[in-house]
Structure 1
Amino acid sequence: MTAVDDTTTPSTAEAWRLRLDAEMAGTGQWPERSPWIRPAVAALPRDRFAPGRLWNWDGHAWQPVDRGTAPERWLELLYGHPSRPAVTQIAGNLPSSSMSAPAVVVDMLDSLLLEPGQRVLELGTGTAWNAALLAHRAGPGRVTSVEVDPGLATAGASRLREAGLDVRVQEGDGGSGFPADAPFDRVIATYAVERIPWPWIDRTAPGGRLVAPWGRLGHVALTVADDHRSATGWLQGLAQFMPDRTAPRAPAHSFTDIRRSAPSAPEQRTVRDPAELQDWDLLFHLRVALPDIRVETAVDEDGVSAWIHDGVSSWAALSSTPDGVFVHQGGPRRLADEVGAARDEWTELGRPEVYDYGMTVTPLDQWVWCGNADTGPRWHTPA
């Protein structure tokens, strides 16, 4: 664990901790059904597990913020807002590891429904703060954490030992490098996957619970069926997570690159308002119905404009002007039309929120449903 620098006085760190605690209390972010979480966070504060260097985006590049030279700014990155993660590692000029936002960590722990004495498998040790909170609840020797990055695994294990916590940290791939002593009562992942790997469920005991970030938005809490042939549960909340760094990915092209290679079809006027694409509930439905598309929006004096692409070959732009909204799109797909159809589907369903969706996973298939696992509409997750 990185030594605490003398320039950061305990009273200063404590002030930041109390400020965040009060803000989360004032906004109702300490969960009532899991009262153990708030005292656990107080007993194992976030700054005890953060590395001495964090990273801040200055609008142009990621800049280091060191505890020894900028202690107040370092603490602000950790505690400044309940919904802000702290970037702890940069690779190739992009974040490769972070401490999830305090409110997100709390929300996922609440979703896990962890009880003392239960055996827990954590996938993604990171800084080990989450593992520490799990151990505080489950008890000594009950938590195993797997980390693919050897440096993070070593540092995380050291921090846990210095905190006096008995947690097993194992270096390995969370997708395949599982401990031999399965099954576990609870399994929690700290990085996002596009599909829930069946081996995660296979390592969870019947009746056990799995909590994992799903894709670009939100996390899911699944309960494993008694016959161990499926797992089902509800989507829990909106947040963005670091992706699985071991998962194979096709190269994703930018909107600019795709637009340059795919000429636009004739311009069209539309009555659709691009401002709708700033609605998080609609964006979540688009993630379910059109999982490969990306949507970005911006506001200027004429209103909201939107840029949509599939990372491969198709793009669309909805531009607000003083004369109305105009659509340009190119490539083999007509993404503005697809997004419009998905938006109409969402409206016909009654504009559901993220909490109205659930997921079912089997060894060979998985899908998201809305409203009811058996009778509601469903969308299969691409392989």
Structure 2
Amino acid sequence: MTDDLDRQRRRALEAMDTHRAWPRHAPWVRDAVEAHPRHVFAPERLWDWDGHAYVPVDRGTDPQAWVRLVYAGPYDAAITEITAGRPSSSLSCTSVVAGMLDVLDVELGHRVLELGAGTGWSAALLAHRVGPTGRVTTVETAPDLAASARDTLTRAGLAETVTVVLDDGALGRPETAPYDRVIATYAVDHVPWTWIEQLRPGGDLVFPWGRLGHFAVTVAKDGRSATGWLQGLAQFMPARDVAVVPEFDEVRAQRAAEDERLLARDVAPLHTDRDLLWALRVALPDVVYATDTDEDGVNVWVHDGAGSWAVATTLPDGRVRAGQGGARRLIDEIEAAWDAWERAGRIRRWDHGITITAEEQYLWAGEAAGGHRWPIPTPAPTAH
């Protein structure tokens, strides 16, 4: 077990080198990862997809499989929790953690607030950076995860630097504010203003937005706004109070298409073009996409989680047949958003930014003060 663990760990570190995934301007990240290995923070039970469902992989009964999941690769997360048959928490992939810590720009002595403790691994990496003169506060809403993270961080000798708080991450932690840096480990569609309020002017917030990427924003000198740019692409677990997005088959519910036609365009870019996918995510934030390929080409499945769905299938002769149903015509909406993106000059994903104030939040492209702008809807109040 020990030999296999050491071997897999070395391979994982070398794979980060091969993929050039270590931050060039933040060498401390690699030092922190080597000082606080992933497996120390991985729970005894992980979960693996067997092609039909997620199945448990226990360290005690199958240690080699467990190690392979922990150190699968730079772009692979280890699933640590399943709720209603779907992943609800994970040990994030090393490349994404490294990238987010890079843009967070943490320094020795900083006070850092983390939303979503999870296993405690990211908090340990932050503690390595802030040192004995800094402080990391990490908030976790799940009691079992909070307790496990606290125990693991204590065993790692970090109890003096990291405080684990059981609470709602959307509230932040005002008792120990202000912070120099704030980082969220789960995705939000609307940024809680409390996160900005609890940062000092000039402080940075890094957070995953929606299903595709993460932003880094800096709080203005007057503390009344925060603005920044898209920094990277990856999928993240959503906040726990966000409704679980149903699967395509649940939305379609075996209903026949109400509208069918041949498309006049190739759908392959929906499988390969990240700039297009980001543009569609911005224009149609509630639409979920899945793609795959077969011998004929790319196939696409989309739905809005509320009863509307569409399928685009590449035929043997290269044509694409689309079918859609529900209250909305999603293929029509996608084509309209696709056309608008092309007319606007195929805006790159990296040209997108976000501005957050107490009154509004919006995405923009090019410059925050002008150009293209997309308002982010304020979520409806949750009934209690």
Task: Tell me which of 143, 146, 152 is aligned to 1:150.
Answer: 143
Task: Tell me which of 212, 215, 229 is aligned to 2:224.
Answer: 229
Residues 46 and 273 (structure 1), Cα distance of their counterparts in 2 relative to 1, 3 Å cut: same
Partners of 2:339 and 2:346 in 1: how far apart? 9
Residues 271 and 183 (structure 1), Cα distance of their counterparts in 2 relative to 1, 3 Å cut: same
**Cα RMSD for the two superposed structures:** 1.8
Give the Å deviation of 1:177: 5.5
Task: Tell me which of 173, 192, 210 is aligned to 1:178.
Answer: 173
Task: Tell me which of 318, 321, 329 is aligned to 2:312.
Answer: 318
Give the Å deviation of 1:135: 0.4
Of 135-144 and 28-37, more deviation after overlay is shown by: 135-144
Partners of 1:212 and 1:78 in 2: how far apart? 24
1:160 has 2:156 as partner: no
Give the aligned residue type for 2:12.
Answer: L
Give the Å deviation of 1:118: 0.8
Q: Tell me what 1:350 maps to.
A: 345
Q: Tell me what 2:215 maps to.
A: 220
Task: Tell me which of 235, 238, 253 is aligned to 2:233.
Answer: 238
Deviations 1:75-130 (A, max 9, x none): 11111210000011122222221100010110110010001111000111111000
Three-state SS of the structure 2 residue aligned to 1:267 is strand
Q: Tell me what 1:4 maps to.
A: none
Whether the 8 Å contact between 1:233 and 1:360 is mirrored in structure 2 is: yes
1:271 has 2:264 as partner: yes
TM-score, normalising length from structure 2? 0.92
Partners of 2:253 and 2:239 in 1: how far apart? 30
Structure 2 residues not aligned, in runs of 5+:
379-384
Structure 1 residues not aligned, in runs of 5+:
1-7
Three-state SS of the structure 2 residue aligned to 1:146 is strand
Give the Å deviation of 1:253: 5.1
Residues 76 and 283 (structure 1), Cα distance of their counterparts in 2 relative to 1, 3 Å cut: same
Whether the 8 Å contact between 2:115 and 2:172 is mirrored in structure 1 is: no
Q: Tell me what 2:75 maps to.
A: 83
Whether the 8 Å contact between 1:153 and 1:169 is mirrored in structure 2 is: yes
Whether the 8 Å contact between 1:262 and 1:314 is mirrored in structure 2 is: no
Give the aligned residue type for 2:212.
Answer: L
Task: Tell me which of 334, 339, 355 is aligned to 2:334.
Answer: 339
TM-score, normalising length from structure 1? 0.92
Three-state SS of the structure 2 residue aligned to 1:379 is strand
Q: Tell me what 1:43 maps to.
A: 35
1:18 has 2:20 as partner: no
Give the Å deviation of 1:331: 2.8
Taking only the aligned residue pairs, the percentage that are identical comes to: 53
Q: Return structure 1 stretches of 4+ with deviation > 3 angstroms.
A: 251-266
Residues 130 and 336 (structure 1), Cα distance of their counterparts in 2 relative to 1, 3 Å cut: same
Give the aligned residue type for 1:143.
Answer: V
Whether the 8 Å contact between 2:111 and 2:135 is mirrored in structure 1 is: yes
Whether the 8 Å contact between 2:91 and 2:119 is mirrored in structure 1 is: yes
Q: Tell me what 1:363 maps to.
A: 358
Deviations 1:278-329 (A, max 9, x none): 1222111111110011122232232222222211132222222235222222
Q: Tell me what 1:53 maps to.
A: 45
Of 75-84 and 345-354, more deviation after overlay is shown by: 345-354
Partners of 1:123 and 1:253 in 2: how far apart? 25
1:72 has 2:64 as partner: yes
